[in-house]
Chain A
Amino acid sequence: MTTLILEGSKYLMIFLMIYYAYLNFRFFGEKYDFRKLKLCRKQNGAMFLIHFLGFLSLYLSRGEEKILVFYGAQVLFFAFYLGLSRVFYRNISRLLLNNVCLLLSVGFLMLARLDMEKAVRQFVIAAAAAVISWIIPFIIDRVWQLSRIPWIYGGAGLALLLTVCVAGVTSYGAKMTLELGGISLQPTEFVKISYVFFVATMFYRSTDFRSVAVTTAMAAAHVLVLVLSKDLGNGLIFFLTYLFMLFVATGKWLYLTAGLGAGCLASAGAYALFPHVQTRVAAWLDPWSDVANKGYQIAQSLFAMGTGGWMGMGLDQGLPGKIPVVEKDFMISAIGEELGGLFAICLILICLGCFLQFMMIATRMQAMFYKLIAFGLGCEYIIQVFLTVGGAVKFIPLTGMTLPLVSYGGSSMVGTFILFSVIQGLYILKRNEEEDDEENESQS
């Protein structure tokens, strides 16, 4: 009987995940609000069912009662978070809200399977971050000075990065972490947001040559400090995000092509300069000649995904623990191994769906400031997803990035919540404005 439920759950979860991803993309094609609402309700149903089946499988496999308790806590959290968010902000984007919850639930499930203690920690941090970030849309709506203080964003961000570069703790070759009284922080996750705000405020003021030069210098300083900390993955995210924001703000292809050219040169330089970059590129090109050492991580990731195949081994039936730092850099491989390649692909599509939603919000914002913020944060998000997934499936060399909302990590969790809440804030702002317009029209 147990095997029956376990096997059945596996296939049902894949089916529900495909259904959820399908609804996500159907949403973009829907015109009428009531239909959109219906889609979102179905998504909620699918998400709770996936979550339930996942934890049921885990419980049947492990037989530990704390799993049930943990599951109950999560259901309460999701129910309250989904419900209260809509009470506080009537016009919140339900699609984004659903996607956040889905990504969180899959992350909690895989973490609980890998390491219960970490899963509980992650859950507590996520719940706190969710509550705190409720205030962000409120701030965006009321505090119009946000667009006035570029040098506070830029200065504070750069100062934080410099602190990490000087006083940070090195892990896996890169300096990313600050140890503060027993808590380890990754300030880069927050600088990502201040950085986008900085660039957006600068270009909002002016896009003349002088402003572009000054902003470029400041952005370059960010990237340079990251490179000095050997945090090349984040360096790449900052670099590309700036380039794309510059392109959208000015509309000049020259900037984009020149920037990409410079980026290629810089990559070649980094390759020549840093031995660990050479190692990673070599491991990407051919992990098999040195499986025991250089190719170990990527080989284990591919073994996991390959052994899982399209349908997966079933939750708790694989060996994702054999992949080094699986709970951070290789969550997607663990998901592929146990929940199935199809499930993993749907998850990636949902991340892409979030990005597309960000882009649609960006196009609908009238003020350049808001437009650039939505666009810049969206770029940061999707580049990070691309780096982590691409690295895990050997599409690109490994960069050691995490999958936002799914991978383990407190700073990343809080940073991503802020990122999503800022965009929710913009969306709410826009929807409120539209409603006002409609009311005015109907009155006149």
Chain B
Amino acid sequence: MKKTNPNPNANRNILRLAYVVSGVFVCMLLYLGYFLQFESGGVINNAYNPRVDLLSERVVRGEIQSSDGQILARTVTSEDGTERREYPFGSLYAHVVGYTGKGRTGLESLNNFYLLTSHVNLAEQVFNQFSGIKNLGDNVVTTLDSNLQQTAYDLLGDRRGAVVAMEPDTGKILAMVSKPDYDPNTIAEDWERLTADEEGEARLLNRATQGLYAPGSTFKILTLLEYLREHPDDWEEFHFDCDGLYENGEYTIQCYHGEAHGSQDLMQAFANSCNGAFAQIGLELDKGKFRTLTEEMLYNQELPLSLSYSRSSFSMTEDGDTWEILQTAIGQGKTQVTPIHQLLITAAIANGGTLMKPYFVDHVENAGGQEVKKFMPSSWGKLISAEEAASLTQFMSRVVTEGTGSALRTDAYTAAGKTGSAEFETGRETHAWFTGFAPAEAPQIAVTVIVEEGGSGGKAAAPIARGIFDAYFSE
């Protein structure tokens, strides 16, 4: 074969390309290394990863603890090596902590991977692996406050409903109760009875996040906000004469128990929850803008929530008829909301308009108590402006000082909120709502309460919020 005049540059160019290729490969391997070291933990904690369950063959599932160190769930290994998941508080944390065994729910499901990952020191892990001993999984320390949880649980008593409490400036969930409940310790034995649900109790349903209810008068917060947006300068001139029954053509709207509120300005109408006044406001509003506002407030939207939840719905469009407007403006009609969603709106108002993402886990620590991973508060974004939040806070304070929220009047702190009594079926008691926060001037805790068929929000729901605030501020 003849030796043609080889391009003198050829070898240099070959080497150049070889260097480039090597460089690209180094980048790719660094990327892989970065993934393995820093990202893999977050990635594999995913419901679609079937491998997590394999970990339970090597690791004893860790504990779930309250923020004050109470054990909410732990795995007990008996002498013959069989493992049993134990929930020392029984049904107290049933919905939020969830269960494992018959599938997984709640925090047991969300933190499956952390609970099944062990960060005991490497030497011990290797030693355990060789001797066939299971490593102890990491413990998940939640944001739940055992005192508040117990208070909420006791105050709700044997009524159906839900209570949720959260820190508005961080998003930490402090308490979450749903009733009726179940005992996660005996979930396997009770499974058939719970799923058959012959009494229609839906005990497995977490009403706090999955229960959909008409918002009732708590919805007037949004109606009010839209009215303030459309009348930034002349809302103080609003006036309404209430005789207990508002008539518009063939339609009538009644105030709660037909009470006549008399002459009302906007602040009074909100504090007294005057249906007539708000029905009339509804007729004046721009329906398109109103719908936009509700969607900005996360109706018909996804919530920043890791637990499974139902989506709230607001269905009135630009061509809603008079009856639909009258109903929607006072929170009746087709509008549906979950307690957690109410809480998020309330917390955003309490936090100057910024919604903090709700979260349940403060940190993960290894079996020896050393912190492995810390979760920090993070903002979802602004729901409303700071001015609007301040203004709504004023209105909601009046509800407590002069209106339907009288149950929260105390010298110990100043609360703000809104009651609601949502009709859901003619002839049955209304669902009682309260959503609010305290202290009004520098909010530290926000609470939403619903008592199914509890009657008036002020009488049935507000006292529960009062009890939680009392417990929180006496700590």
Contacts and interface: CB of A to CB of B under 8 A. Distances in A.
Given A247-B13, A348-B29, A306 B21 contact: no
Interface in B1-60: 1-4, 6-7, 9-11, 13-15, 17-18, 21-22, 24-25, 27-29, 31-33, 35-37, 39-41, 43-44, 46, 48-52, 54-55
Given A368-B6, A386-B28, A306 B54 contact: no
Given A3-B129, A7-B129, A302 B35 contact: yes
A337 B55 CA distance: 13
Contacts of B52: 307
Contact of A395 (B32, B48, B50): B32
Considering residues A3, A303, A363, which has the most beta carbons from chain B within 10 angstroms of its beta carbon?
A303
B249 interface: no
B10 A371 contact: yes
A382 B21 contact: yes
A125 interface: no
B29 to A, nearest CB: 6
A352 B27 CA distance: 13
Interface residues of A, number: 60
Interface residues of B, number: 44
Nearest to B5: A368
A3 B132 contact: yes
A169 interface: no
Contact of A359 (B18, B33, B43, B126): B18
Contacts of A291: 46, 48
B7 A367 contact: no
Nearest to A375: B14
B28 A389 contact: yes
A371 B6 contact: yes
Contacts, number: 142
Contact of A386 (B24, B37, B49): B24
Nearest to B51: A307
A313 B10 CA distance: 46
Contacts of A184: none
Nearest to B44: A306
Contacts of B50: 303, 319, 322
B335 to A, nearest CB: 29
B130 interface: yes
B3 A366 contact: yes
A394 B27 CA distance: 13
A356 interface: yes
B3 A367 contact: yes
A292 interface: yes
Interface string B117-141: 0000000001001101000000000
A249 interface: yes
A188 B326 CA distance: 70
Interface in B185-237: none
A355 interface: yes
Interface string A356-372: 10010011001111110
B10 A305 contact: no
Q: Which 4 residue pairs across A and B have the least CB separation, nearest first? A: A306-B40, A251-B9, A303-B49, A306-B44
Given A299-B49, A355-B18, A375-B14, 17 more contacts: A3-B129, A7-B129, A249-B7, A251-B9, A291-B48, A305-B32, A307-B52, A322-B50, A344-B32, A345-B32, A349-B29, A352-B22, A352-B25, A356-B22, A363-B11, A368-B4, A394-B35
13 contacts: A147-B1, A204-B4, A302-B40, A304-B51, A305-B36, A337-B51, A359-B17, A370-B1, A386-B24, A389-B28, A393-B35, A395-B27, A395-B32
